Amino acid sequence: MLNIDIIYHNPNIPKLEKIDKGDWIDLRASVGGSFRRGDFALIDLGVSMRLPDGYEAHIAPRSSTFKNYGIIQTNSIGIVDNSYSGTNDVWKMPCFFTRDTVIEPNDRICQFRIVKKMEPVSFTEVTELSNIDRGGFGSSGRK
């Protein structure tokens, strides 16, 4: 079991806990606000963590985030590597608002999971690849 040191910057937000179903852990808005269509904001998630060496966190919207709030995470997925581990390295979710909405403190807006970092890689330049071409971009499912 991995142990993660965590600081909660808002004492009114429930402590994080692993749920029985699924592998992702919900994160909550630490502060609220009213947002207008077309706004961009970094939603404060109210936590700082020290991840174990060799691991990173992936942050993504919850499945209901767009339906409930009309927000899109601007970078599609957030990556927090274990060097972002200071007391004031507060996790945030960059959001674009597609409609007027209100986010309240404690609203569950995204989720994260801990993932092993990719092993070091090297690249070897070649003039052609030995596999058969699949048919180009967007080719799966074509007959």
In angstroms, the CA 94 to CA 71 distance is 10
Residue 121: exposed, middle, or buried by beta-carbon count in 10 A (0-12, 13-18, 19+)? exposed
Q: How many CA atoms lie within 13 A of 106 on its CB side?
A: 5
In angstroms, the CA 62 to CA 111 distance is 6
Map tokens 């947002």 to a residue: 35
Q: How many CB atoms lie within 10 A of CB 103?
A: 21
What are residue 65's phi and psi, to 5 degrees?
A: -60, -50
Q: How many CB atoms lie within 10 A of CB 67?
A: 8
- The catalytic site residues sit at 81
